[in-house]
């Protein structure tokens, strides 16, 4: 398995990540919403700032000193100790090498040990079988399929 790590996303890492970003068709239920991504520095700054909230931790997936993806622990409910994991690698060149699997395992450890969560949720559109396979591979359990999404949960 290739080496990856997670760190808190910074503005600079976010810029570097999105300079090489491609939207992945697998995450769209409605393909009309899947448009090519065009890098825009001010837009990335706005995106980064909008993600700095108490209910979300934005992490960079790092490899060889460079960001290759983002991983969010969002909808953090500090009372119920639950959150939702979402992940998106930068572009096709970094997919299919085991990095997503490694990053999700690290994110679970971070959610449980650093954030003190008791459960982590995840959801994917039905067609995103690669994401579903990786979630199941790292230990998420399938909960239900509803309204075009498949829901997963990992309880420690």
Ligand X SMILES: CC(C)(COP(=O)(O)OP(=O)(O)OC[C@H]1O[C@@H](n2cnc3c(N)ncnc32)[C@H](O)[C@@H]1OP(=O)(O)O)[C@@H](O)C(=O)NCCC(=O)NCCS
106 belongs to the binding site for ligand X (CB under 6 A): no
Which residue's CB comes closest to ligand X? Answer: 100
Nearer to ligand X, 49 or 136 (CB): 136
75 belongs to the binding site for ligand X (CB under 6 A): no
Least distance to ligand X from the beta carbon of 61, Å? 9
Half-sphere exposure of 139 (CA within 13 A, CB side): 12
Please check whether residue 139 is in contact with residue 153, taking contact to mean a CB–CB distance below 8 angstroms: no
5 belongs to the binding site for ligand X (CB under 6 A): no
CA angle 7, 66, 120 (to 5 degrees): 35
Spatial separation of the C-alpha atoms in residues 48 and 62, rounded to whole Å: 17
For 25, the 3-state DSSP assignment is helix
Least distance to ligand X from the beta carbon of 118, Å? 21
> Site residues (CB under 6 A) for ligand X?
24, 26-27, 87-89, 95-101, 124, 128-131, 133-134, 137
């Amino acid at each position: 398995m290739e080496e990856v790590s997670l760190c808190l996303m910074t503005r600079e890492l976010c810029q570097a990540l999105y300079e090489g970003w491609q939207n992945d068709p697998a995450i769209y239920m409605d393909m009309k919403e899947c448009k090519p991504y065009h890098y825009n520095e001010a837009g990335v700054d706005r995106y980064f700032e909008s993600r700095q909230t108490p209910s979300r931790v934005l992490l960079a997936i790092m490899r060889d000193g460079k960001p290759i993806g983002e991983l969010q622990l969002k909808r953090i409910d500090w009372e119920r100790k639950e959150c939702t994991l979402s992940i998106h690698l930068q572009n096709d060149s970094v997919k299919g090498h085991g990095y997503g699997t490694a990053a999700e395992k690290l994110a679970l450890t971070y959610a449980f040990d650093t954030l003190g969560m008791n459960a982590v949720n995840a959801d994917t559109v039905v067609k995103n079988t690669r994401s579903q396979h990786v979630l199941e591979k790292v230990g998420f359990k399938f909960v239900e399929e509803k309204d075009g999404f498949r829901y997963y949960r990992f309880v420690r």
